[in-house]
Structure 1
Amino acid sequence: MNEVVGEAKTATKGAREYLTFRLGQEEYGIDILKVQEIRGYEKPTRIANVPEFIRGVVNLRGTIVPIVDMRLKFNCEKAEYNGFTVVIILNLYNRVVGIVVDSVSDVMELTSEQVRPAPDLDASLDSSAVLGLGSVNERMLILLDIEKLMASVDMGLVSLNA
Protein backbone atom coordinates (compact mmCIF):
# COMPACT_ATOMS: atom_id res chain seq x y z
CA MET A 1 0.00 0.00 0.00
CA ASN A 2 2.87 2.41 0.74
CA GLU A 3 4.18 1.86 -2.80
CA VAL A 4 0.93 3.18 -4.30
CA VAL A 5 1.07 6.30 -2.11
CA GLY A 6 4.71 6.82 -3.13
CA GLU A 7 3.78 6.57 -6.82
CA ALA A 8 0.95 9.07 -6.40
CA LYS A 9 3.30 11.56 -4.74
CA THR A 10 5.84 11.12 -7.52
CA ALA A 11 3.21 11.68 -10.21
CA THR A 12 1.92 14.80 -8.46
CA LYS A 13 5.45 16.16 -8.08
CA GLY A 14 5.90 16.30 -11.88
CA ALA A 15 2.42 17.70 -12.46
CA ARG A 16 1.52 21.25 -13.48
CA GLU A 17 -1.66 23.13 -12.74
CA TYR A 18 -3.66 24.77 -15.52
CA LEU A 19 -6.54 27.21 -15.37
CA THR A 20 -9.10 25.89 -17.84
CA PHE A 21 -11.45 28.06 -19.85
CA ARG A 22 -13.87 27.78 -22.75
CA LEU A 23 -13.95 29.45 -26.13
CA GLY A 24 -17.01 28.19 -27.97
CA GLN A 25 -17.00 24.39 -27.75
CA GLU A 26 -13.26 24.12 -27.12
CA GLU A 27 -11.57 23.96 -23.74
CA TYR A 28 -8.13 25.49 -23.19
CA GLY A 29 -5.62 25.45 -20.37
CA ILE A 30 -2.97 27.99 -19.34
CA ASP A 31 -0.32 27.80 -16.63
CA ILE A 32 -2.01 28.87 -13.38
CA LEU A 33 1.19 30.65 -12.31
CA LYS A 34 0.66 33.25 -15.08
CA VAL A 35 -2.83 34.15 -13.78
CA GLN A 36 -3.10 37.19 -11.54
CA GLU A 37 -6.90 37.24 -11.12
CA ILE A 38 -10.24 36.54 -12.78
CA ARG A 39 -12.76 39.35 -13.23
CA GLY A 40 -16.19 39.85 -14.71
CA TYR A 41 -16.26 41.46 -18.14
CA GLU A 42 -16.44 45.24 -18.30
CA LYS A 43 -16.47 47.16 -21.55
CA PRO A 44 -12.94 48.45 -22.23
CA THR A 45 -12.04 51.86 -23.62
CA ARG A 46 -11.38 51.44 -27.33
CA ILE A 47 -7.97 52.41 -28.72
CA ALA A 48 -7.62 53.59 -32.34
CA ASN A 49 -5.61 51.65 -34.93
CA VAL A 50 -5.26 48.37 -33.05
CA PRO A 51 -6.33 44.94 -34.34
CA GLU A 52 -10.01 44.08 -33.76
CA PHE A 53 -9.15 41.36 -31.23
CA ILE A 54 -7.58 43.98 -28.95
CA ARG A 55 -10.82 45.32 -27.50
CA GLY A 56 -9.18 48.27 -25.71
CA VAL A 57 -7.91 48.98 -22.21
CA VAL A 58 -9.28 49.04 -18.66
CA ASN A 59 -7.97 50.71 -15.53
CA LEU A 60 -7.20 48.01 -12.98
CA ARG A 61 -6.35 49.71 -9.69
CA GLY A 62 -4.20 52.32 -11.45
CA THR A 63 -2.68 49.97 -14.04
CA ILE A 64 -3.78 50.36 -17.67
CA VAL A 65 -4.44 46.83 -18.93
CA PRO A 66 -4.87 45.92 -22.62
CA ILE A 67 -7.78 43.52 -23.17
CA VAL A 68 -7.55 40.81 -25.85
CA ASP A 69 -10.72 38.96 -26.88
CA MET A 70 -9.44 35.43 -27.46
CA ARG A 71 -12.64 34.53 -29.32
CA LEU A 72 -11.82 37.12 -31.98
CA LYS A 73 -8.13 36.19 -31.96
CA PHE A 74 -8.97 32.52 -32.57
CA ASN A 75 -11.69 33.34 -35.15
CA CYS A 76 -14.52 31.82 -33.13
CA GLU A 77 -17.98 31.97 -34.73
CA LYS A 78 -19.25 34.64 -32.37
CA ALA A 79 -18.07 36.76 -29.48
CA GLU A 80 -21.10 37.32 -27.29
CA TYR A 81 -20.81 39.22 -24.01
CA ASN A 82 -23.02 37.86 -21.23
CA GLY A 83 -22.96 37.06 -17.51
CA PHE A 84 -20.54 34.15 -18.04
CA THR A 85 -17.99 36.19 -20.01
CA VAL A 86 -14.88 36.75 -17.93
CA VAL A 87 -11.50 38.42 -18.19
CA ILE A 88 -8.46 36.50 -17.04
CA ILE A 89 -5.81 38.96 -15.89
CA LEU A 90 -2.34 37.65 -16.68
CA ASN A 91 1.07 38.76 -15.51
CA LEU A 92 3.49 38.09 -18.37
CA TYR A 93 7.05 39.37 -18.53
CA ASN A 94 6.20 41.96 -15.84
CA ARG A 95 3.32 43.27 -17.98
CA VAL A 96 -0.36 42.91 -17.09
CA VAL A 97 -2.68 41.78 -19.92
CA GLY A 98 -6.33 40.69 -19.84
CA ILE A 99 -7.88 38.01 -22.04
CA VAL A 100 -11.63 37.68 -22.63
CA VAL A 101 -12.99 34.11 -22.63
CA ASP A 102 -16.49 32.59 -22.65
CA SER A 103 -16.13 31.10 -19.17
CA VAL A 104 -13.60 29.73 -16.71
CA SER A 105 -14.02 26.06 -15.84
CA ASP A 106 -11.60 25.07 -13.08
CA VAL A 107 -7.99 24.44 -12.15
CA MET A 108 -6.72 21.08 -13.36
CA GLU A 109 -3.53 19.26 -12.45
CA LEU A 110 -1.94 17.34 -15.32
CA THR A 111 1.04 15.02 -15.22
CA SER A 112 3.41 14.72 -18.19
CA GLU A 113 1.74 11.37 -19.00
CA GLN A 114 -1.58 13.18 -19.51
CA VAL A 115 -0.13 15.62 -22.06
CA ARG A 116 0.32 14.64 -25.70
CA PRO A 117 2.02 16.61 -28.47
CA ALA A 118 -0.33 18.73 -30.55
CA PRO A 119 -0.82 17.65 -34.15
CA ASP A 120 0.50 19.97 -36.85
CA LEU A 121 -2.53 21.80 -38.16
CA ASP A 122 -2.89 24.80 -40.44
CA ALA A 123 -4.93 26.94 -38.07
CA SER A 124 -5.35 30.56 -36.99
CA LEU A 125 -3.45 29.68 -33.83
CA ASP A 126 0.35 29.68 -34.03
CA SER A 127 1.21 26.02 -33.38
CA SER A 128 4.35 27.04 -31.47
CA ALA A 129 2.03 28.54 -28.83
CA VAL A 130 0.37 25.14 -28.26
CA LEU A 131 2.18 23.13 -25.58
CA GLY A 132 0.12 20.03 -26.28
CA LEU A 133 -3.19 18.36 -25.64
CA GLY A 134 -4.09 17.36 -22.11
CA SER A 135 -6.61 14.64 -21.46
CA VAL A 136 -8.39 13.69 -18.27
CA ASN A 137 -11.15 11.10 -18.61
CA GLU A 138 -13.35 12.42 -21.45
CA ARG A 139 -12.02 16.00 -21.34
CA MET A 140 -9.53 17.24 -23.91
CA LEU A 141 -7.68 20.50 -23.23
CA ILE A 142 -5.66 22.56 -25.66
CA LEU A 143 -2.71 23.67 -23.53
CA LEU A 144 -1.42 27.11 -24.50
CA ASP A 145 1.92 28.77 -23.90
CA ILE A 146 0.17 32.05 -23.11
CA GLU A 147 3.45 33.99 -22.87
CA LYS A 148 4.49 32.94 -26.37
CA LEU A 149 1.02 33.69 -27.72
CA MET A 150 0.88 37.18 -26.18
CA ALA A 151 4.45 37.94 -27.32
CA SER A 152 3.67 37.14 -30.97
CA VAL A 153 4.29 39.94 -33.45
CA ASP A 154 0.59 40.40 -34.38
CA MET A 155 -0.28 40.95 -30.71
CA GLY A 156 2.43 43.51 -30.00
CA LEU A 157 1.55 43.42 -26.30
CA VAL A 158 4.60 42.10 -24.50
CA SER A 159 8.23 41.97 -25.40
CA LEU A 160 10.40 38.97 -24.62
CA ASN A 161 13.14 41.42 -23.65
CA ALA A 162 11.00 43.26 -21.10
Structure 2
Amino acid sequence: MSENAPAGLSLGDTDNIDEMYLTFALANEEYGVGIAGVTEIVGMQRIMSVPDVPHYIKGVINLRGKVIPLMDVRLRFGMPERAYDERTVVIVMDVGDAPIGLIVDGVSEVLEIPPAQVDRHTQFGRSASRPVISGIGRIGDRVAVLLDTSVLVSDTDISVPNDLVAAE
Protein backbone atom coordinates (compact mmCIF):
# COMPACT_ATOMS: atom_id res chain seq x y z
CA MET A 1 0.00 0.00 0.00
CA SER A 2 1.14 3.55 -0.53
CA GLU A 3 1.85 6.30 1.89
CA ASN A 4 -1.17 7.88 0.18
CA ALA A 5 -3.49 5.28 1.71
CA PRO A 6 -6.08 6.75 4.08
CA ALA A 7 -5.26 6.50 7.76
CA GLY A 8 -6.27 3.23 9.37
CA LEU A 9 -5.88 1.14 6.22
CA SER A 10 -3.10 -1.36 6.70
CA LEU A 11 -2.61 -5.06 6.33
CA GLY A 12 -1.27 -5.51 9.82
CA ASP A 13 -0.36 -9.08 10.73
CA THR A 14 -2.07 -11.20 8.10
CA ASP A 15 -1.77 -14.92 7.78
CA ASN A 16 -3.55 -15.32 4.46
CA ILE A 17 -3.56 -12.43 2.01
CA ASP A 18 -6.04 -14.36 -0.20
CA GLU A 19 -8.69 -13.77 2.48
CA MET A 20 -8.01 -10.02 2.72
CA TYR A 21 -10.26 -7.54 0.91
CA LEU A 22 -10.14 -3.79 0.52
CA THR A 23 -13.71 -2.60 0.93
CA PHE A 24 -15.06 0.55 -0.64
CA ALA A 25 -18.32 2.42 -1.09
CA LEU A 26 -20.35 2.92 -4.24
CA ALA A 27 -23.65 4.71 -3.63
CA ASN A 28 -24.93 3.12 -0.41
CA GLU A 29 -23.43 -0.31 -0.98
CA GLU A 30 -20.16 -1.90 0.13
CA TYR A 31 -17.89 -3.68 -2.35
CA GLY A 32 -14.56 -5.43 -1.98
CA VAL A 33 -11.54 -6.37 -4.06
CA GLY A 34 -8.77 -8.77 -3.15
CA ILE A 35 -5.96 -6.87 -1.47
CA ALA A 36 -3.31 -8.96 -3.24
CA GLY A 37 -3.86 -6.99 -6.47
CA VAL A 38 -3.97 -3.54 -4.84
CA THR A 39 -0.76 -1.55 -5.25
CA GLU A 40 -1.87 1.75 -3.71
CA ILE A 41 -4.69 4.17 -3.05
CA VAL A 42 -4.37 7.73 -4.32
CA GLY A 43 -6.56 10.80 -4.35
CA MET A 44 -8.11 12.15 -7.50
CA GLN A 45 -5.73 13.81 -9.93
CA ARG A 46 -5.91 15.51 -13.28
CA ILE A 47 -7.33 13.01 -15.77
CA MET A 48 -6.30 13.11 -19.42
CA SER A 49 -9.16 12.10 -21.71
CA VAL A 50 -8.62 9.32 -24.23
CA PRO A 51 -10.83 9.00 -27.33
CA ASP A 52 -12.68 5.87 -28.44
CA VAL A 53 -13.01 4.15 -25.07
CA PRO A 54 -16.20 3.13 -23.23
CA HIS A 55 -17.99 5.85 -21.26
CA TYR A 56 -16.84 4.35 -17.96
CA ILE A 57 -13.16 4.81 -18.83
CA LYS A 58 -12.56 8.38 -17.71
CA GLY A 59 -9.07 8.60 -19.23
CA VAL A 60 -5.56 8.13 -17.89
CA ILE A 61 -3.34 9.59 -15.20
CA ASN A 62 0.44 9.78 -15.04
CA LEU A 63 1.42 8.27 -11.71
CA ARG A 64 5.17 8.66 -11.16
CA GLY A 65 5.90 8.13 -14.85
CA LYS A 66 3.47 5.25 -15.33
CA VAL A 67 0.30 5.74 -17.39
CA ILE A 68 -2.72 4.29 -15.56
CA PRO A 69 -6.15 3.98 -17.25
CA LEU A 70 -9.02 4.97 -14.93
CA MET A 71 -12.34 3.15 -14.73
CA ASP A 72 -15.23 4.84 -12.93
CA VAL A 73 -16.75 1.78 -11.25
CA ARG A 74 -20.10 3.57 -10.74
CA LEU A 75 -20.44 4.05 -14.50
CA ARG A 76 -19.18 0.50 -15.20
CA PHE A 77 -22.09 -0.78 -13.09
CA GLY A 78 -24.67 1.50 -14.71
CA MET A 79 -25.08 3.71 -11.63
CA PRO A 80 -25.71 7.44 -11.97
CA GLU A 81 -22.61 9.59 -12.38
CA ARG A 82 -21.56 11.53 -9.29
CA ALA A 83 -19.27 14.53 -8.99
CA TYR A 84 -15.89 13.62 -7.50
CA ASP A 85 -15.25 15.05 -4.03
CA GLU A 86 -12.60 14.90 -1.31
CA ARG A 87 -13.57 11.29 -0.43
CA THR A 88 -13.32 10.03 -4.03
CA VAL A 89 -10.20 7.91 -4.49
CA VAL A 90 -8.45 5.78 -7.07
CA ILE A 91 -7.62 2.19 -6.13
CA VAL A 92 -4.60 1.32 -8.26
CA MET A 93 -4.44 -2.39 -9.02
CA ASP A 94 -2.39 -4.77 -11.10
CA VAL A 95 -4.78 -6.96 -13.04
CA GLY A 96 -3.18 -9.45 -15.40
CA ASP A 97 0.19 -7.65 -15.41
CA ALA A 98 -1.44 -4.33 -16.31
CA PRO A 99 -2.19 -1.42 -14.00
CA ILE A 100 -5.71 0.00 -13.75
CA GLY A 101 -7.19 2.62 -11.49
CA LEU A 102 -10.68 2.08 -10.10
CA ILE A 103 -12.47 5.32 -9.20
CA VAL A 104 -14.70 4.72 -6.17
CA ASP A 105 -16.72 6.94 -3.82
CA GLY A 106 -14.39 6.19 -0.90
CA VAL A 107 -12.47 3.36 0.73
CA SER A 108 -13.67 1.76 3.94
CA GLU A 109 -11.24 -0.74 5.43
CA VAL A 110 -9.20 -3.87 4.88
CA LEU A 111 -11.12 -6.90 6.12
CA GLU A 112 -10.29 -10.56 6.51
CA ILE A 113 -13.18 -12.57 5.10
CA PRO A 114 -12.54 -16.32 5.37
CA PRO A 115 -13.96 -18.56 2.61
CA ALA A 116 -16.59 -19.89 5.06
CA GLN A 117 -18.06 -16.37 5.18
CA VAL A 118 -18.25 -15.95 1.40
CA ASP A 119 -21.33 -17.07 -0.52
CA ARG A 120 -20.29 -17.98 -4.06
CA HIS A 121 -23.59 -18.77 -5.70
CA THR A 122 -23.41 -19.16 -9.46
CA GLN A 123 -26.68 -17.30 -10.00
CA PHE A 124 -25.05 -13.86 -9.60
CA GLY A 125 -25.32 -12.07 -12.92
CA ARG A 126 -27.27 -14.29 -15.26
CA SER A 127 -25.23 -13.38 -18.35
CA ALA A 128 -23.59 -15.98 -20.53
CA SER A 129 -20.16 -14.59 -19.70
CA ARG A 130 -18.37 -14.89 -16.37
CA PRO A 131 -19.99 -12.78 -13.65
CA VAL A 132 -18.13 -9.78 -12.22
CA ILE A 133 -19.29 -10.79 -8.72
CA SER A 134 -17.06 -13.44 -7.19
CA GLY A 135 -19.19 -13.73 -4.05
CA ILE A 136 -20.94 -12.00 -1.19
CA GLY A 137 -18.83 -11.63 1.95
CA ARG A 138 -20.55 -11.65 5.34
CA ILE A 139 -18.90 -9.45 7.97
CA GLY A 140 -21.00 -9.54 11.15
CA ASP A 141 -24.35 -8.05 10.17
CA ARG A 142 -22.89 -6.38 7.06
CA VAL A 143 -22.33 -7.76 3.59
CA ALA A 144 -19.87 -6.74 0.88
CA VAL A 145 -20.16 -7.58 -2.80
CA LEU A 146 -16.79 -9.12 -3.69
CA LEU A 147 -15.64 -8.38 -7.23
CA ASP A 148 -13.60 -10.44 -9.65
CA THR A 149 -11.31 -7.68 -10.92
CA SER A 150 -10.12 -9.73 -13.89
CA VAL A 151 -13.72 -9.84 -15.14
CA LEU A 152 -14.38 -6.21 -14.16
CA VAL A 153 -11.60 -4.98 -16.43
CA SER A 154 -11.64 -7.78 -19.01
CA ASP A 155 -13.24 -5.80 -21.83
CA THR A 156 -10.72 -5.64 -24.64
CA ASP A 157 -11.93 -2.14 -25.55
CA ILE A 158 -10.53 -0.60 -22.36
CA SER A 159 -6.88 -1.14 -23.14
CA VAL A 160 -4.85 2.00 -23.65
CA PRO A 161 -3.06 2.17 -27.02
CA ASN A 162 0.58 1.14 -26.73
CA ASP A 163 1.88 4.50 -27.91
CA LEU A 164 0.28 6.16 -24.84
CA VAL A 165 1.93 3.81 -22.37
CA ALA A 166 5.28 5.07 -21.10
CA ALA A 167 8.18 2.65 -21.39
CA GLU A 168 9.09 1.18 -18.02
With over 3 angstroms needed to count, the CA separation of the structure-2 counterparts of 1:14 and 1:90, relative to structure 1, is closer
**2:95 aligned partner:** 92
Structure 1 unaligned blocks of 5 or more = 1-11, 158-162
1:42-84: CA deviations, max 9, x gaps? 1310011111110001101111110110011111123220000
Report the 3-state secondary structure (helix = DSSP H, G, I; strand = E; otherwise coil) of the residue aligned with 2:131: helix
Measure the CA separation in 2 of the matches of 1:16 and 1:80: 32
| Map of 2:57 onto structure 1 | 54
Task: For 2:57, give the aligned amino acid.
Answer: I
- When normalised by structure 2's length, the TM-score is 0.78
Q: The residue matched to 1:33 in structure 2 has which SS? A: helix
Match status 1:114 vs 2:117:
yes
> Equivalent pairs: percent with the same residue?
35
1:39 to 2:39 alignment: no
Shift of 1:118: 4.1
Tell which deviates more after alignment, 113-122 or 15-24.
113-122
Larger radius of gyration: 1
- Residue segments in structure 2 that go unaligned for 5+ positions in a row: 1-14, 161-168
- TM-score computed with the length of structure 1 as normaliser: 0.80
More moved, 28-37 vs 128-137? 128-137
Do residues 129 (structure 1) and 132 (structure 2) align?
yes
Secondary structure at the aligned position of 2:123 is classed as coil
Aligned length: 145
What's 1:20 paired with? 23
| Farther off after superposition, 100-109 or 88-97 | 88-97
